[in-house]
Amino acid sequence: MNDEQRYQQGIAVRRAVLGDTHVDRTLSNLTPLNQEFQDFISRYAWGEIWNRPGLARHTRSLITIAMLIALNREAELRMHLRAAFNNGVTREEIKEVLMQSALYCGLPAANVAFHLAEAVFTEMDAAAGE
């Protein structure tokens, strides 16, 4: 597969996981500074890793949430909490990942993650009610 094919495959997966709105916003905000970085993300994160056959996207979402909690990356965690539902992850499964993170990442990290998840769920519920 060449770079353009990998990029197109990555954009397709990125759209499936993160949604068209997020990807369209990202692509519309390309600048000379971030364009190569965004291309890199699409080709390698989404075109390579998220497309590997060894794990389902559902599992990849749960793993990603756990790693973002451990790394204290709130903006990315917010994005992947939302995206997880596109991969069939349930709120109960997210809660279990948050509980597991309390043990392995620490109570402060899990506490922040629980508050963030509550905020994301509230926003999603409000948007669904509109």
75-106 pLDDT, tens digit per residue, is 999 999 999 999 999 999 999 999 999 999 99
* Confidence at residue 10, expressed as pLDDT on a 0 to 100 scale: 96
pTM comes to 0.92
pLDDT at 129 over 90: no
* Confidence at residue 101, expressed as pLDDT on a 0 to 100 scale: 97
pLDDT at 1 over 90: no
pLDDT in tens, 33-73: 999 999 999 999 999 999 999 999 999 999 999 999 999 99
pLDDT at 130 over 80: no
* Confidence at residue 114, expressed as pLDDT on a 0 to 100 scale: 98
CATH of 55-130, one of 3.20.20.70, 3.40.30.10, 1.20.1290.10, 3.50.50.60: 1.20.1290.10
pLDDT at 124 over 90: yes
What is the residue-wise DSSP string for the chain? --HHHHHHHHHHHHHHHH-HHHHHHHHHT--TTTHHHHHHIIIIIITTGGG-TTS-HHHHHHHHHHHHHHHT-HHHHHHHHHHHGGGT--HHHHHHHHHHHHHHT-HHHHHHHHHHHHHHHHHHHHHHH-
Domain ranges of the chain: 1-52, 55-130
